């Protein structure tokens, strides 16, 4: 029923009880106020909205319901303006209900003037739920729902804001290395958790005023202000260093490598399209040439990337055109000088360019996934050649073949190798597979399972380029290994750099303590050989003994002739 206060107000304006009933039962909140916002009347809907009895509201001013002092001042100004001008206005306000809950309202304020009185009337709608829905919709369209980071649609706006504050900075395009492998082997749920953890770590490492954006699946963008090339290099180095600490998810530890492409502002552009394009070119080069690393864009980058793209196209045709060859470099026992086996080395000869070195095309093959097909061909051809030599009554010893990181993820690899060995009449112990430290550490449980299967098959296993990666005692004891191969970067320094000699000696001692034999690659000089002999390295290979030979030359010069260069 209408209240006495409303009856009095309506009487002053010549109203009726019918109008009073309509106002009291209106679905919107209605307030009638004196100058300054003192509440004369509040209908039932407003009382319910604010969760306060009408008799209490009658002793309050509207500003006293405001959520904070700033909002109270805003409400007061709006009321004063309506009272002074007589013009209606709409106001968004935050009010505090009697139980302390903040609500958002939309108020239409107007002046009601009659013959006997004047007052301000407010029609009030609770828009709290609508604002929440609007916020969620805005968040869904502007932010990534997994990480909570802004998404790529916000990049232009964020860049404009940054340029409004500083005209110098950088855009970093950050790629999580081998993230697809994580999803494939550990599942998308784990991949999601890993991405969230990496994003959080990067957010903590970036300057406070930097912006981190999720650009695509496993690519993030960082916008950083007030950095020159020296500063951005230092930042990139700090990000790379921080990611060497494993990320722990539940009981699982995972090492995440980063590749970063960097475009400088304004040197490389001042709009998103230019900066992302150049940072992407730099990122492509970082991924193909350096694995986990960072590259700043420079004019030569585009040419390098075009070269890589050309190689990508040529590689797709190379197998079908039979452009690959295997050469075989003898391995020599230091103690006896006898050839104990061969290392299968891939060579690529193109009709247009002649020989293209593996250092140039292997990273492209790895990045594109073509390494799986190429690796299968290498493995099959090396075992087939081993079988051909054996059928001729020759003794080629052990054939060493490199496995790529992607091949380690092939679930039935050990079965495939077993079939190849049986098909060509090669014993498992006559094959040695070499895997890099980095490849082993990408997914330790999977690598342990695969290497255990291969070891049970009887295949020998070796760590390639030991000393350049993790060099961890823990993983050496976890994997069923037979041999360590010392990287040529250490061998080349023997006789000239005492520090490298100390490291090489330590590697050999470590291997022997773990009952592993040692092979050194890249041996070219007598000085290097003498050091390796003194430190009890068992096997060497390099140009100082034998260069890599075509199969026919290996057969003629090594297997049917006395050992020697």
C-alpha dist (Å) from residue 318 to 309, 313, 314, 455, 490: 14, 9, 6, 32, 33
How far apart are alpha carbons 267 and 276 in whole angstroms? Answer: 13
Q: For residue 1, what pLDDT is reported?
A: 41
How far apart are alpha carbons 63 and 72 in whole angstroms? Answer: 5
- The closest alpha carbon to 204, from 246, 242, 247, 151, belongs to 242
| DSSP code of residue 38 | B
Q: For residue 177, what pLDDT is reported?
A: 80
C-alpha dist (Å) from residue 207 to 163, 203, 239, 403: 16, 8, 11, 41
Buried b (16+ CB within 10 A) or exposed e, 208-231: eebbbbbbeebbbbbbbbebeeee
C-alpha dist (Å) from residue 463 to 217, 325, 418, 514: 32, 24, 21, 13
Longest CA–CA span in the chain (Å) reads: 126
C-alpha dist (Å) from residue 57 to 42, 167, 241, 494: 7, 54, 62, 90
Residue-level pLDDT, tens digit, the chain, 565 residues = 455 555 555 555 455 555 666 677 777 888 888 888 888 888 888 988 888 888 888 788 888 898 899 998 998 999 989 888 889 899 899 998 888 889 999 999 998 876 567 888 999 998 888 888 877 776 676 677 788 888 888 878 888 887 776 778 999 999 988 777 777 667 778 778 888 888 899 999 999 888 888 888 888 899 998 888 899 999 999 998 888 888 888 777 777 888 999 999 998 888 888 898 899 988 888 876 544 589 999 888 778 778 888 888 888 888 888 899 999 999 999 999 899 999 999 999 998 889 999 888 888 888 788 899 999 999 999 999 999 999 999 999 999 999 988 888 888 899 999 999 999 999 999 999 998 877 777 777 888 888 899 999 999 999 887 766 555 566 677 788 899 888 888 888 887 888 888 888 988 998 898 889 999 988 988 899 999 999 999 999 988 778 889 999 988 888 875 444 4
Q: Which helix (H) or strand (E) holds 461?
A: strand 460-466
How far apart are alpha carbons 50 and 401 in whole angstroms? Answer: 77
Task: Find out whether 234 and 250 touch, Cβ atoms under 8 Å.
Answer: no
Q: For residue 157, what pLDDT is reported?
A: 82
How far apart are alpha carbons 546 and 565 in whole angstroms? Answer: 6
3-state secondary structure of 29: strand
Place of tokens 């604002």: 131
Per-residue DSSP letters for 181-201?
HHHHHH-HHHHHHHHHHHHHH
Side-chain half-sphere of 209: how many Cα atoms within 13 Å?
12
How far apart are alpha carbons 476 and 478 in whole angstroms? Answer: 6
How far apart are alpha carbons 101 and 42 in whole angstroms? Answer: 19
Q: For residue 561, what pLDDT is reported?
A: 57
């Amino acid at each position: 029923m209408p209240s006495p206060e409303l009856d009095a107000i309506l009487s002053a304006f010549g109203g009726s009880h019918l109008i009073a009933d309509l106002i009291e039962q209106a679905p919107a909140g209605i307030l009638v106020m004196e100058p300054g916002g003192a509440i004369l009347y509040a209908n039932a809907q407003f009382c319910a909205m604010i969760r306060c009895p009408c008799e209490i509201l009658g002793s309050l001013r509207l500003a006293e319901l405001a959520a904070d002092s700033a909002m109270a001042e805003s409400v007061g100004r709006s009321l004063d303006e309506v009272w002074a001008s007589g013009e209606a206005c709409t106001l968004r306000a935050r009010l505090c209900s009697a139980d302390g809950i903040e609500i958002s309202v939309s108020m239409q304020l107007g002046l009601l003037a009659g013959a006997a009185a004047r007052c301000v009337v407010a029609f009030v709608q609770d828009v709290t739920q609508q604002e929440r829905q609007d916020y969620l919709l805005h968040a869904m369209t502007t932010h990534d729902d997994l990480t909570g980071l802004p998404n790529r649609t916000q990049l232009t706006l964020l860049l404009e804001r940054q340029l409004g504050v500083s005209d110098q900075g950088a855009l970093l395009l950050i790629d999580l290395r081998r993230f697809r492998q994580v999803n494939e082997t550990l599942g998308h749920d784990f991949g999601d958790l890993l991405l969230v953890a990496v994003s959080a770590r990067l957010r903590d490492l970036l300057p406070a005023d930097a912006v981190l954006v999720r650009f695509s699946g496993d690519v993030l963008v960082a916008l950083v202000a007030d950095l020159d090339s020296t500063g951005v290099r230092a930042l990139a180095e700090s990000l790379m260093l921080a990611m060497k600490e494993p990320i722990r998810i539940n009981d699982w530890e995972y090492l995440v490598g980063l590749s970063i492409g960097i475009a400088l502002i304004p040197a490389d552009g001042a709009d998103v399209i230019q900066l992302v394009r150049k940072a992407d070119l730099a990122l492509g080069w970082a991924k193909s040439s350096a694995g986990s690393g960072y590259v700043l864009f420079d004019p030569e980058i585009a040419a390098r990337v075009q070269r890589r793209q050309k190689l990508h196209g040529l590689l797709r045709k190379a197998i079908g055109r039979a452009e690959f060859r295997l050469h075989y470099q003898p391995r020599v026992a230091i103690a006896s000088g006898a050839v104990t086996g061969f290392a299968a080395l891939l060579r690529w000869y193109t009709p247009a360019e002649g020989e293209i070195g593996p250092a140039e095309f292997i990273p492209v093959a790895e990045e594109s996934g073509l390494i799986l097909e190429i690796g299968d061909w290498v493995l099959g051809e090396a075992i087939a050649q081993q079988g051909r030599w054996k059928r001729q009554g020759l003794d080629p010893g052990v054939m060493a073949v490199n496995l790529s990181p992607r091949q380690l993820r092939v679930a039935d690899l050990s079965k495939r190798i077993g079939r190849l060995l049986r098909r060509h009449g090669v014993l498992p112990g006559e094959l040695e597979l070499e895997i890099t430290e980095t490849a082993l550490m990408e997914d330790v449980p999977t690598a342990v399972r695969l290497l255990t299967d291969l070891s049970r098959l009887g295949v020998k296993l070796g760590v390639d380029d030991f000393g350049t990666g993790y060099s961890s005692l823990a993983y050496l004891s976890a994997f069923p290994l037979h041999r360590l191969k010392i990287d040529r970067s250490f061998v080349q320094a023997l006789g000239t750099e005492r520090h490298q000699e100390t490291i090489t000696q330590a590697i050999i001692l470590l291997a022997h303590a773990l009952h592993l034999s040692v092979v050194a690659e890249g041996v070219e000089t007598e000085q290097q050989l003498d050091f390796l002999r003194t430190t009890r390295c068992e096997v060497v290979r390099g140009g100082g003994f034998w260069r890599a030979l075509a199969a026919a030359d290996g057969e003629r010069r090594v297997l049917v002739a006395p050992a020697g260069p």
